Amino acid sequence: MGSRTVEVAKGVPPLAPEREVIWPKRTKEKLSNGLQLILAESHSIPKFHGQLIFLSGNAAAADRAPGLADMTATVVRTGTQKHASRKLEEDLRRIGADLSTDAGSDTSSISFSGLSEFAEPLLDLVQELAREASFLEGEFERERRQKLEEVKLNRTQPAFLASERLRKVLFGAHPYSQISPSEAQVAAYEREDLHSVYREFYTPQNALLVLVGDFEPKDLLKSIEKVFSTWTGNKPSAKTFATPANPRTRRVYLVHVPGTVQTQILAGCHAITRKHSDWIKLGLTNTLYGGAFNSRLVMNIREDKGYTYSPRSAVNALRQHGYFSISAAVRNEVVAASLTEMFYELDKLRSLLVPESELADAQNYLSGVFSLGLATQDGLLSQFSTVAQHELPDDYLETYRAKVRAVTSEGLLATARKYLDSANMQIVLAGDRAQIESQAALFGDLEIFDAQGSRLE
């Protein structure tokens, strides 16, 4: 890679014996109305964190309008019949609680945290928002206007524009191709559309409640039953979408943002979901490539060449499909040079076995970092939520480290060959075409768009 020889450290103390990593026991229950519960104790602070997750998000509403589940979640947060906006905020504050609502491609969720002494009143507010959100006309109109401004602002951000284009390129007609509505689509949202998304998605049969914190599971279960047991509602009918074609042949998509002093590079290809048997192997490949500070990509284009501040790569898992991406914001003069290094490092992973010591370093990183989340309530919550949402096996957390350790250099080589082909990577560049067009054209057929998504000649 670099032009510089890497010197090794002298006199490094060895690692002490590892302490066993023990994930807290999870209590799993299902209420008679279908609501699934996952509870785990963590007594680090006298608080608890939770998430009420509905297994339907923007993708499930995409046939109606892009971003509709997200807009619905935003308006849910504005209040209920019993708790109009102002009273809701005051009552949350009175019990020291935080609460937010959100929807991504696959889920809608209400996330919250608060003092353990007020667990039941907070759960009661969550329950109310899940069942009795009022969707007042005034709240809806205000939030729609806010959303319009947010959508406009997003279109001035190179990182957003690059993600938006990459998702379109990779997912075509599949709902995963949409990460944001257009201004016109926001303007066309109807309050009744939001309300029907709410009625369909926000039901106990479609929900998981995950709670982590300083509580006695038995006592908390009683509160949960008291608060949630009278809630009813069916699972929404499942939607199926045709599998998007994996784009073949490298192409370049330039999103023209006049006046930018830097170019956002984002390249990607199809990958896999978390349930796939190659998930851990691909995760480890990504760690080596650009998923850690100590990775080949970061050492090359940041620490050796100084092209960029924050290069990285990632395996992004949505529920039905996944994709791999490489990103870096680089100065305009080195767009071609950066892409060349990105692909060089990718090709190298497909051509040469990873040395044993580098493999061991990456394994240690991935298994160590996986356990760091143990120390906080929200770190635990995020792991338990991921396992539940992606329907991973019950022992996923407990067996993860051993599976990481079992990967071999040969396995990595096969994984890189299977998934990471620079000849088929789709390249998005968000930047000023006058500065970068000739560099962009070196890497494949070029299409140019403006920030609104229109083709430019």
Site for other proteins in 252-291 (CB under 8 A): 259-262
Contact flag: residue 238 with other proteins (CB under 8 A): no
Contact flag: residue 367 with other proteins (CB under 8 A): yes
Query: For the window 160-179, what string marks contact with other proteins as x by the rule CB under 8 A?
Result: --------------------
Positive or negative torsion for Cα 277, 283, 284, 289: positive
Output 204 or 291, the one with its CB closest to other proteins: 291
| Both tokens assigned to 246 | 């994996």
Q: Which stretch binds other proteins (CB under 8 A): 40-48, 193-201, 224-232, 437-445?
A: 40-48
Query: For the window 372-401, what string marks contact with other proteins as x by the rule CB under 8 A?
Result: xxxxxxxx--x-------------------
Nearest one of 163, 189, 225 to 74, comparing CA atoms: 189
Positive or negative torsion for Cα 159, 164, 169, 175: positive
DSSP state letter for 422: G
Q: Which stretch binds other proteins (CB under 8 A): 53-61, 185-193, 248-256, 357-365?
A: 357-365
Rule CB under 8 A: choose which of 28, 30, 82, 94 binds other proteins. Answer: 94
Rg of the chain on CA atoms, in Å = 24
Q: Quick check: 34 and 235 in contact, CB under 8 A?
A: yes
Minimum distance from residue 356 beta carbon to other proteins (Å): 13
Alpha carbons 267 and 245: distance in angstroms, whole number: 17
Contact flag: residue 92 with other proteins (CB under 8 A): yes
Other Cβ atoms less than 10 A from the Cβ of 319: the count is: 19
Alpha carbons 57 and 36: distance in angstroms, whole number: 18
β pairing state of 108-115 and 98-103:
antiparallel
Query: For the window 1-20, what string marks contact with other proteins as x by the rule CB under 8 A?
Result: ---x-xxxxxxxxxxxxxxx
Minimum distance from residue 338 beta carbon to other proteins (Å): 11
Minimum distance from residue 365 beta carbon to other proteins (Å): 5
Nearest one of 327, 364, 15 to 165, comparing CA atoms: 327
Contact flag: residue 97 with other proteins (CB under 8 A): yes
Q: Looking at residues 123 to 152 of the shown chain, list those that interact with other proteins (rule: CB under 8 A).
A: 142, 145-146, 149-150, 152
